[in-house]
């Protein structure tokens, strides 16, 4: 028996996968040099604090990394205990980190 509803759902699922694959290829074409410097401490803290709200795709676009790289970073941070440490920082501690990095960047110039 032919079930048009299931066939249509399968076709859309196929298109969704093709669109996602095409988007990843376009990302790599636009960003050929994906080997970048390590994320700064403030970026890693931001990642730990807000990954649950933004998700890896949004976080990747904010930090200039691919979503799979962001997901791998989170897994590695959880393995070595940095994720919980950064996630539980207070806003005042996070602001101190930002200020310290700004001062360091000013002296580097």
> Would you say the pTM of this structure is higher than 0.85?
no
Residue 7: what pLDDT? 46
| 76 has pLDDT over 90 | yes
pLDDT of residue 6: 52
Report pLDDT for 8: 52
Is there a contact between 43 and 70 (Cβ–Cβ < 8 Å)?
Answer: no
Q: What is the pLDDT of residue 39?
A: 86
Residue 100 scores a pLDDT above 70: yes
46: tokens are: 């931001």
Cα–Cα distance measured from residue 14 to residue 20, given in angstroms and rounded to the nearest whole number: 10
pLDDT at 71 over 70: yes
Mean pLDDT of the 56-73 span: 87
Average pLDDT for residues 28-38, to the nearest whole number?
62
Pick 23 or 88 by higher pLDDT. Answer: 88
- Report percent pLDDT > 90 for the chain: 24
Give SS3 for 1: coil
* C-beta of residue 95 within 8 angstroms of C-beta of residue 39: no
Q: What does the domain layout of the chain look like in residue ranges?
A: 1-32, 37-108
SS3 letters across 30-72:
HCCCCCCCCCCHHHHHHHHHHHHHHHHHHHHHHHCCCHHHHHH
């Amino acid at each position: 028996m032919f079930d048009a509803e299931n066939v249509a759902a399968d076709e859309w699922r196929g298109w969704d996968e093709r669109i996602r694959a095409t988007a990843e290829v376009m990302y790599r074409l636009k960003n050929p040099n994906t080997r970048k410097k390590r994320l700064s401490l403030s970026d890693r803290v931001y990642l730990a604090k807000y990954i649950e709200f933004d998700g890896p795709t949004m976080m990747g676009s904010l930090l200039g990394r691919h979503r799979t790289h962001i997901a791998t970073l989170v897994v590695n941070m959880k393995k070595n205990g940095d994720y919980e440490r950064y996630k539980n920082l207070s806003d005042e501690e996070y602001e101190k980190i930002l200020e310290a990095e700004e001062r360091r960047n000013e002296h580097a110039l």
